[in-house]
Amino acid sequence: MTVAVNVGILDTEVLARVNGAPLTAFPDDLYIPPEALAVYLGAFEGPLDLLLYLIRKHHLDVLDIPMARLTAQYMEYVNLMRKSQLELAAEYLLMAALLIEIKSRMLLPRPAAIDDDEADLDPRATLVRRLLEYEQMKLAAQQIDALPRLGRDFLTAHSWREQAVRLLPQVGSNDLRDAWLGLVARAGTRRHHQVTQQVLSVREAMGQILNTLQGDLFMEFTCLFEAELGVSHVVVKFLAMLELAREHRVEITQNMAFAPIYVRLAWVDVSVS
């Protein structure tokens, strides 16, 4: 007989194929020899689960576990596991050691009681408590699994709404007008304009100064400048003034510091010029 077990079962209902025929359910009275059980060992959630299975399967009394029988059966499975799934065995081996320890302590005569509570304690009590606590959680897990669950048994209901909606800024016609007006206003200040260099002649300025000085004998220095014509005019006039002074064409006098500066034509030897 060939038995192929479908390991990756998720959707298919076929549990195994016996001689090629699909097996969709375990027969109710299926006797599972330990050798065949090797393939199911992965289904146990640890040693407590396996022990519970053995106890319930053989209708053993949890409060009075026949330790020898249970330990023997347990060891059968563990030995199988050691052959096939060695990495699983550690926890199971620990439990095997515990079972054997309990069994041996039950064989030994009880030590004289120091503490009454301790003396009355059955060596199996802790194991029984753990088994029952585990079974309690195991049943609870099944109940939770049976509760209706979002995504599996029902879905939340929504009306369709654009989920990717981004909040966009609101724009009115007034905003548009203000933006346009702002643009126009800025255009005035930022308009292109050509910068042309004004050609100012120092010679010409010198002539102007001499002309101005022609009538009056003395003129106040500041009166020779026309500030409203701009910085370049003032600078050129000043350079012209310096030039005239260098050529001794004008005389510049100041009586004391910060006093008004006066300018007049220098005495010119007519005969020479």
Partner 1 sequence: MNISELKNILEVMLFAHGEPLTISEMRAALTGDLSAELIYRALNELRADWENKGLALVVVADGWRFQTRAEYQTYLQRLSPERPPKYSRAVMETLAVIAYKQPVTRGDIEEIRGVTVNTQIIKTLEQREWIKTVGHREVPGRPALYVTTPQFLSDLNLRALAELPPLAELGQLVAPNPYTLDLELSSDAAE
Tell me whether residue 152 or residue 191 sits nearer to partner 1 (CB atom).
152
Q: Does 63 bind partner 1 (CB under 8 A)?
A: yes
Instruction: Give me the sign of the Cα torsion angle 86, 87, 92, 93.
Output: positive
- Please report how many Cα atoms fall inside a 13 Å half-sphere around the Cα of residue 268, on the Cβ side: 11
Enter the tokens of residue 256.
Answer: 């004391």
Q: Does 142 bind partner 1 (CB under 8 A)?
A: yes
Q: Which stretch binds partner 1 (CB under 8 A): 68-76, 110-118, 136-144, 251-259?
A: 136-144
| Residue 5 parent element (H or E) | strand 3-5
Pairing relation of β-strands 219-220 and 250-254?
unpaired
Q: Does 62 bind partner 1 (CB under 8 A)?
A: yes
Binding to partner 1, residues 8-27 (CB under 8 A): 8-11, 15, 26
Q: Which stretch binds partner 1 (CB under 8 A): 128-136, 226-234, 237-245, 257-265?
A: 128-136
User: How far apart (Å, rounded) are the C-alpha atoms in residues 118 and 114?
Assistant: 8
Q: Does 159 bind partner 1 (CB under 8 A)?
A: yes
Q: Which stretch binds partner 1 (CB under 8 A): 56-64, 174-182, 224-232, 241-249?
A: 56-64
User: How far apart (Å, rounded) are the C-alpha atoms in residues 49 and 55?
Assistant: 10
To the nearest 10 degrees (0 to 180), the angle between helices 125-146 and 89-107 is 140
User: How far apart (Å, rounded) are the C-alpha atoms in residues 248 and 253?
Assistant: 13
Q: Does 147 bind partner 1 (CB under 8 A)?
A: yes
Binding to partner 1, residues 168-197 (CB under 8 A): none
Q: Does 148 bind partner 1 (CB under 8 A)?
A: yes
Enter the tokens of residue 22.
Answer: 């699909």
Binding site for partner 1 (CB under 8 A): 5, 7-11, 15, 26, 30, 40, 42-43, 45-49, 53, 56-57, 59-63, 91, 95, 130, 132-145, 147-159, 161, 163
